[in-house]
Structure 1
Amino acid sequence: MRFNSTRFRIDPTPRRADGEYMAHARISTSRADGSEYDVHLSGDLAGFDAREDAIAYAKSWAQQWLDTRFG
């Protein structure tokens, strides 16, 4: 089952290291008072030559992570 919610935000911004883009994901949500907090920080997932590939990988990884925990 694919998890579908606007409750969580995925920030798949990669970091540049040693000539490649390191995919990682920050998954966050908001509390009732509107403050934001992190649900999960992935750490480095994989390295890619293209920034777009790192972003796509991190988004997919985060979606699967949410599916297994909240789906």
Structure 2
Amino acid sequence: MRWDEEIDATGLLCPLPVLKARKRLKSMAPGAVLRLVATDPAAVVDVPHFCAESGHELIAAQTEAEPQVYLIRRRSTA
């Protein structure tokens, strides 16, 4: 799948991967896709929760191996 922007959050611990994703998504166009790469064990819970709470769409999550990779589509409204 194609993505528009990427964050490498490897080595960062909770809550930094989600905080970096939130900040980047705010600057992205509605419908754009962010690829988030993380190694934080808490990200498997934090990223889906963040997406559900903020209205962004978690379109893919590869969490079986490190690094974890998430594809997040920015919500269509601000």
Same fold (TM over 0.5): no
Instruction: Judging by fraction of residues, say which structure has more strand.
Output: 1
TM-score of the two chains, using structure 1 as the length reference: 0.31
**Which has the higher Rg, Structure 1 or Structure 2?**
1
TM-score of the two chains, using structure 2 as the length reference: 0.30
